[in-house]
Amino acid sequence: MKNYIPVILFIIGSLSNSCSISRISGTSNDLNVEGIKILEPFSYIYRLELDDKMHYNPEASLKSKLLIIKVMQDLKTRIPYSGFIFLEDSVTKSNLETEIENLCYDADNSKYPGNI
């Protein structure tokens, strides 16, 4: 019987995990949320050049941004939102991007990103 305990625990863990994943990824629309807008995504993609330095790649960054927008539009039935917020003010947009970038760096360097 001792040899079966790890197998039983594995099966129980797998079943409970799959149930929670199906509950999270389910398509039921129990949540009636309206008026949520998503901020314009931004993307900065760099490539390593022959000089061993990172260089910003505007074409890849733009393609990545457009791909994120397309994916969000394709998922609109599963993620209820009413549109995107595209910031026209370049100063506000730059400040927001810098703030989000700093939060990402902090989360990446933190042992406990939940405290950020």
Does residue 38 sit within a domain? yes
Does residue 115 sit within a domain? no
Express each pLDDT in 79-110 by its tens digit. Answer: 778 888 888 888 988 898 888 888 888 888 88
Count of domains forming the chain:
1
Give the best-scoring range by mean pLDDT among 19-23, 32-36, 72-76, 111-115. Answer: 72-76
Question: Once rounded to an integer, what is the mean pLDDT over residues 10-30?
Answer: 46
Domain assignment of residue 47, given as a range: 29-85
Does residue 93 sit within a domain? no
Does residue 69 sit within a domain? yes
**14 vs 97: which has the higher pLDDT:** 97
Question: Once rounded to an integer, what is the mean pLDDT over residues 24-34?
Answer: 53
Does residue 98 sit within a domain? no
Task: Look at residue 5 in the predicted model and tell me its pLDDT.
Answer: 53
Residue length, the chain?
Answer: 116
Does residue 116 sit within a domain? no
Q: What is the DSSP string of 35-84?
A: --EEEPP----EEE-TTS-EEE-HHHHHHHHHHHHHHHHHTTTTS---EE
Predicted TM-score of the model (pTM): 0.55
Does residue 5 sit within a domain? no
Question: Once rounded to an integer, what is the mean pLDDT over residues 65-86?
Answer: 85
